[in-house]
Structure 1
Amino acid sequence: MAYLLTKTFHLVFVIAWMAAVFYLPRILVNLAEAGAEPAVRERLLLMGRRLYRFGHVMFGLAFVGGLALWLHFGIKGGWLHAKLALVALLFAYYIASGRQLKR
């Protein structure tokens, strides 16, 4: 039962993080299209900052869930290295998007 709950929460947090990863660049595009409208820019910046913070929390929770699955339940396989490499690339992309938002 603990395995299923951990796996379920891990999947929910991963999906929430992926939504943040792929929606943050859309906010950056909207910021570029907003031009010089200060009210729209401020709202989009607020949305971007909140989404970036939310994404970090979801990544942390997904990471802890994945770590629990790996260490406690003994998840093994050659695919784990490929999965971790892809997660590292997505996290780097997310950090780069966040830096663009801060500029």
Structure 2
Amino acid sequence: MSMIISLTAMGCNYLFNIAFDHLLIKLGRRVNDRPPWLRAVHAVSFEASLLTITVPFVAWWLNLSLWAAFVTDIGFALFFLVYAYLYNWAYDVIFPMPADDPQPVIR
């Protein structure tokens, strides 16, 4: 179960980050400049989307109700919420998006 959830999280992280960056660009915001509040929104929304995918799987795998699976999964989600925030911040610092044209600054 952990292996399947990890692979799901890896795939979802890739797709979610692409979608999030495209949304920032569409909203006219600079992708490289992410203040702490935007990083928190990014991390929380990623974990929420991952929970919607993994909770039904955990319920099925462990033969639990959706509520019991949610409570089981929420402990992991809280840990990975902090991890997602720090990981994505570090990734943006190490691998910044190329700056072609001047973009509006995030406020």
Alignment TM-score, normalising by the size of structure 1: 0.34
Q: RCO higher in 1 or 2 (8 Å CA, sep ≥ 6)?
A: 1
Which structure has more helix as a fraction of its residues?
A: 1
Alignment TM-score, normalising by the size of structure 2: 0.33
